[in-house]
Chain A
């Protein structure tokens, strides 16, 4: 309760002083069990703010809808990587965001009206005890008992035969209904006109079929190479349960191995595909 009260008090004072126009945080959802994003514009409603293990949503994305306005946002350690990413890419200005950081105990798997006891996979290997960037830390640091990140799920997929992998992915892509929830929730997806919606050139088109879905999913994943910060919101919101983390984490692992880079740790480090090392050979000799 102490942590929540600190969030509420900070939000209230920021609004009362006029330091920010709005506070983006969490409130209880209509099922009474899980959480949902909440926008507080008046001091009186800050009592609705909560924080617990159902607050999985990455609220940083909403900053892109509020450009030009000074906003406060409640940020978990994984979300703070999104802040660094957006700062790095010039999408938000540091002095237009007041970051209310929280040390995070890990989020549990939830769905409508249901809260499990199981930690989300991304949280099991998270070692961050506080956000990487913040203006105010509610509740202090929270030491994590984290497993080591071994990418065992990726290694397992890599160990299968080529044909098995092909069949697996085609089955997954055949379920996609192109709702684009994965794109809409992702802080890294902010193109004014997404490639999937372009008519010229026509990359994907409107047909919802395995071939087109595969192009959609793989190109989106590749656009996030070296940029995905691992919040796993895409997988959480997918209505047909496509294991998107198996795509994004594969690239995360390879980018780490090939270029010794992880997205969102440092707002100033140049991203791997905007730079190069002349002497690196990779697999192409010379």
Chain B
């Protein structure tokens, strides 16, 4: 059964959630909208296309101290980072929710990442269905949809004077305020993003590993980390210990396979020295290795990399290029 919340209902509901939890929501900055913890419900941007950075940063922050070790009077103390409060991640689109579900696979796989698991357990997801598909969106080709409720606890869909409230999980049900009435109106049809044909490509990728296509594509790649950092599913990180005045902190920060030193091993060997090899790695991880391990493609079709790559390396184009390369190779 769908419920209905007027805009006022929603504001009051969020106010009450904010009283007891951290609420992370889209906030409009100077020129961009980003997910961040809010102090007032008025800060939330309800009408946005999609944020610059995905909300994965709540579960895997760009930088965090995993724990610190302090030495005091001869005693050595390990101080773990604790998750202090319950949270609500509000306003994420289904593509981003799928991104979190994909990140769950490596991070919650036994034994799992303690901090990630704790945050994930204590954070509820209230998603927002999309009103429009942007030219760069292709979620329906990647196992999601503008109105897909599968990976959130509650899904909101905007209608004329409020929101349809679809309760998906028990966790979501527990968050509901009192007094929401049943929604009896029509559910607006979801927008239709572009389609990208991907299945054949994935099965052929094993044969395309050594194809010169990758060096050619790699020519224009700048090997910055933009694509990986804006991506809802990329999760590589670097970890280092820093000591200062008797205290050691283990810091974890985002990193990506695109940087030159990423795969450099102690001893100096680097299996990915050329630009094409580094660029290829990202596509292979997302489209082949991750599916082999976790049975799902590590791309949700949010289009952020397409939008933000300074040299227009477009994953949709890469997929269709690979199909052509495949056809040419099989002697068609």
Contacts and interface: CB of A to CB of B under 8 A. Distances in A.
Q: Are A and B co-members of a single complex? A: yes
Interface of A: 29-31, 34, 36-39, 41, 57, 61-62, 65, 111-113, 175, 177-181, 183-185, 193, 197, 199, 202, 205-209, 236-237, 239-241
Contacts of B240: 199, 205-206
Given A177-B53, A205-B240, A241 B254 contact: no
Nearest to A66: B219
Interface residues of B, number: 39
A62 B306 contact: no
Contact of A208 (B224, B254, B308): B254
A240 B224 CA distance: 14
Given A206-B255, A207-B253, A241-B32, A236 B310 contact: yes
Contacts of B32: 240-241
Given A39-B216, A112-B308, 14 more contacts: A29-B314, A31-B312, A36-B220, A177-B254, A178-B254, A179-B225, A180-B259, A181-B310, A197-B259, A205-B242, A206-B251, A237-B224, A241-B31, A241-B32
A237 B253 CA distance: 22
Contact of B222 (A113, A175, A181, A202): A181
A33 B137 CA distance: 17
Nearest to B308: A239
Contact of A62 (B29, B220, B259, B312): B220
Contacts of B216: 39, 41
Contacts of B135: 31, 113
A65 B216 CA distance: 13
Nearest to B134: A113
A84 B282 CA distance: 35
Contacts of A57: 310-311
Contacts of B251: 205-207
A15 B53 CA distance: 42
B57 to A, nearest CB: 9
B202 interface: no
A193 B270 CA distance: 14
A29 B63 contact: no
Contacts of B259: 180, 197
A206 B253 contact: yes
The 3 closest A-B pairs by CB, nearest first: A181-B224, A36-B312, A237-B310
Interface in B41-57: 52-53
Contacts of A208: 62-63, 253-254
A206 B222 contact: no
Given A31-B135, A197-B261, A38 B220 contact: yes
B312 A29 contact: yes
Contacts of B225: 177-181
B77 interface: no
B63 A207 contact: yes
A30 B63 CA distance: 33
A177 B275 CA distance: 22
Contacts of A205: 240, 242, 251
A65 B221 CA distance: 11
B160 to A, nearest CB: 29
A241 B311 contact: no
Given A31-B135, A208-B62, A239 B229 contact: yes
A178 B261 CA distance: 15
Contacts of A179: 224-226, 229
Interface in B106-162: 135-136
A30 B224 contact: no
Nearest to B218: A65
B52 A240 contact: yes
A209 to B, nearest CB: 6
B223 interface: yes
29 contacts: A31-B135, A38-B220, A62-B219, A62-B220, A112-B306, A112-B307, A177-B62, A177-B225, A178-B254, A179-B224, A179-B229, A181-B222, A181-B226, A185-B222, A193-B261, A197-B259, A197-B261, A205-B251, A206-B63, A206-B240, A207-B63, A208-B62, A209-B63, A237-B310, A239-B226, A239-B229, A239-B308, A240-B32, A241-B30
A181 B242 CA distance: 25
B278 to A, nearest CB: 12
Interface in B263-311: 275, 306-308, 310-311
Contacts of B63: 206-209
